[in-house]
Amino acid sequence: MSVWSRLVDMAQSAFSPGLDPAVTGGECAPDPNDVGFTAAVIGLAAKMAKADGEATESELRAAARVFRPPPGEEAAFRRAFNLAKQTTLGFDSYARQIGRKYRARPCLLEDVLDGLFHIAGADGHVGEAELAYLAEVATHFGFSELEFRRIKATNLGLEADDPHAILGLMPGATMDEVREAWRRLAAENHPDTMLARGAPPEFVEIAREKSAAINAAYARIREEMPAEVK
């Protein structure tokens, strides 16, 4: 029986705020049989779709593409998603579970946030209620306000036309700090990195968009720096 079928079979307990299974899995991925992680991610995705008051079919399809069920389990995924979307209550429990279990794997937590941003934008607009939801999830994941600002900027574009946001820096950072941040983020978000991790096509495309934003932000900051510090 697959993890998705198991989820539906234990639906009521799977989406219980008390669920707290053990940590397993690789550096940037959970154990594929970690039912608790799967339940929490589906719960966050469904409640992301519900955050603006209405969970649309396009958001469900986006969730299925990002957190892809295996062939033949699409109906089970839909049932689990529809169960979780009934209310936004309890989403902080899901976020705390994942954040507590995988705090040492920030790349995994950022992947989940990227997926939630993708779902939020599936209807063509990310509203204030959705942004507030994402910010609170990020807090439970252990991301700082500055880190969330970077993740938001790489997913949605620059805030106040500030390229520093995409690199997770404050205005006034030195060129050495800019270069270090650019190199680290470019490596972490390179599409080849996602391909090597076996990520679904949507995550590879997200990585391409983030890489383009990171490189553009670095180029712009470098261009605006005095020649003697470049």
The CATH fold of domain 160-230? Helix Hairpins (1.10.287)
Question: How many helices (DSSP H) and strands (DSSP E) are in the chain?
Answer: 12, 0
- Residues 6 or more apart whose CB falls under 8 angstroms from that of 182 comprise 167, 214, 215, 217, 218
pLDDT tens digits for the chain (230 residues)?
454 455 445 444 444 444 443 333 357 777 666 777 888 888 888 888 888 777 788 888 888 888 777 778 888 888 888 888 776 667 788 899 889 988 988 988 998 899 899 888 887 888 898 999 999 999 999 999 999 999 998 888 766 568 999 999 988 899 999 999 999 999 988 988 888 877 777 788 888 999 999 999 999 999 988 776 65
- What whole-number distance in Å separates Cα of residue 60 and Cα of residue 35? 20
User: Would the pTM of this model clear 0.85, i.e. be above it?
Assistant: no
pLDDT at 18: 46
- Residues 6 or more apart whose CB falls under 8 angstroms from that of 219 comprise none
- Residues 6 or more apart whose CB falls under 8 angstroms from that of 188 comprise 107
Q: Where are the domains of the chain?
A: 1-143, 160-230
Cα angle, residue 175 at apex, residues 171 and 177 outer, rounded to 5°? 75
Q: How many residues does the chain have?
A: 230
- What whole-number distance in Å separates Cα of residue 168 and Cα of residue 109? 16
- What whole-number distance in Å separates Cα of residue 83 and Cα of residue 200? 24
Q: What per-residue string of b and e applies to 124-159 under the rule 16 or more CB within 10 Å gives b?
A: eebeeebbebbeebbbbbbbeeebbbbbbbbbeebe
- Do the Cβ atoms of 43 and 91 come closer than 8 Å? yes
